[in-house]
Structure 1
Amino acid sequence: MEFGSLPRKERQMFDPTEYIKKAKMVDGGHLSIGRGGYTLHYAQGSTLGGYDVDNIKALCIEAGLPVIDSRCVPFDLVADLAISGPMAAVGTAPRFFMSRAFSHVSLAEWVASYRAAGAEIHNMPEVRNEPAS
């Protein structure tokens, strides 16, 4: 019997636990959620995407993984952040390219830009620049 022919309640749901564990072990690992679903960044150049947002969001928050939910941010701001860059460095060092859109910054710096736009942030403390005494 093929998967698609099974009644919905008998289908085995995908378990992202192993990918969440990998994301926790890599610098910059995080879950980003937008209007088109989610993207779990778990290694350099490796992502897992899907549409079961509420389930994976709860699992990642519980696991302590940084979660950035930009669905509440006005579309024009999200588009500017996503298109103009920079991107979060995942499993690699931050680096600058001539085009900011292709640059990679630390996860903390990337999250700060989404936080400033009004995104819902979990498991990522706000970094405050305090003057030296």
Structure 2
Amino acid sequence: MSAFPEPTDGESVDFLEERDGDTESWTRADPREALIESFGRFGYKVTLRDGEDVHYCALGLEDDEYLGRCDCKGWQYHDGPCAHLCTLRKADFLGLVSVEATNGSPADEHEMCHATGETLEGEPHDTAIEQTRDYEQEMEGRA
């Protein structure tokens, strides 16, 4: 489901370095030429004009610092943000999207991970699921 080899917390994203370095990711990023759909608090589906695939991204703000992730190979294998995240940053600057604040809580990190299709061990609802299964098995045993 996800391009990530293993789950990671939302990572700090340095867009100024991308802009100042005039990287390929920054240059490719044009929110006016991209298709951006938001979902949830942190989730975005981004399709670049020169790309064929929809990529799932998460972007949030914590203490005026951007935290993000993407399911693309550019994010997985390269340093710095991918073109999809750079597109979202530019869209935020232009007022085309509104990046939500995160408090760094496990629930917010969980939501950011799920925005990119990651599944995590020990998810907050795992305990409830296990308790329900145990209860169902106990009820079957009594029948």
Q: What TM-score range do you get, normalising by the shorter chain? A: 0.3 to 0.5
TM-score between both structures, scaled by the size of structure 1: 0.33
TM-score between both structures, scaled by the size of structure 2: 0.31
Of the two, which has the highest radius of gyration?
2
Asked which structure has the greater RCO (Cα within 8 Å, sep 6+), the reply is 2
